[in-house]
Amino acid sequence: MSLSRTVLLTAALPLLLLCGRAAIAQSAPPPAWDQLTPAQREQLIGPVRERWNGASAEERSRMLEHARRWQSMTPAERAEARHGMHSWKQLPPEQREEARALYTKLRTLPDAEREALRERWKQMTPEQRRRWAAENPAPAHRGGPGR
């Protein structure tokens, strides 16, 4: 090995060790709530406080209900909910409107009619779905389906 390569490796070794430690620290599991510093807790809570303070009474009630429902879910149900939220965010706006309209209508129907509408929906073309959603609009919304 040449002298310049040896010098380079000797100089780079502390940097490599430091990078390795940083990678290990980043992969360590996050601490429990009680182990967080007050600044870390504030960093987590701050955005929720701002949203809460800017929300109407109706929105605050909805936020509390969502929190109650989330706490009652099993880990599998939470994973499914996260997947659904991710899928919802990926939908184009026009498909979100169609989904809101369908969801709103399905909530009002008896089981047999609900299943019949689902089957009809599966058979519809995109243009038929757009037309159906325009004829059966969902109420003004905020957030996910049916909101």
Domain span at 119? 92-147
Average pLDDT score over the chain: 84
Q: Using one digit for the tens of pLDDT, what is the confidence trace for 86-119?
A: 999 999 999 999 999 999 999 999 999 999 999 9
Say if 127 falls within a structural domain.
yes
Say if 100 falls within a structural domain.
yes
Q: Using one digit for the tens of pLDDT, what is the confidence trace for 37-67?
A: 999 999 999 999 999 999 999 999 999 999 9
Tokens of 76: 């599998």
pTM for the predicted model, two decimal places: 0.55
Per-residue pLDDT band for 9 (boundaries 50, 70, 90) equals very low
- Looking at the structure of the chain, the number of domains it has is 1
Say if 11 falls within a structural domain.
no
Say if 63 falls within a structural domain.
no
